[in-house]
Amino acid sequence: MTRALIIVDVQLDFCEGGSMAVEGGSDVAGGITEHVIAHGQEYAAVVATADWHIDPGEHWSDQPDFVDSWPVHCEAGTAGAEFRPELAGALDHVQAVFRKGQYAAAYSGFEGSTEVHGEQIGLAEWLRERDVTEVDVVGIATDHCVRATALDALAQELDTTVLLHLTAGVAPETTEAALEELRAAGATLRG
- The residues carrying an active-site annotation are 9, 100, 145
Task: Say whether 162 sits in a helix, a strand or coil.
Answer: strand
Cβ proximity of 75 and 53 under 8 Å? yes
Q: Sheet of 119-122: strands edge to edge?
A: 119-122, 113-116, 96-100, 45-51, 3-8, 134-140, 159-168, 188-190
The answer for residues whose C-beta is within 8 angstroms of residue 60's C-beta and 6 or more apart is 53, 69, 70, 71, 72, 73
The whole-angstrom separation of Cα 50 and Cα 83 is 8
Helix ranges, the chain (H): 25-39, 88-91, 123-129, 147-155, 172-185
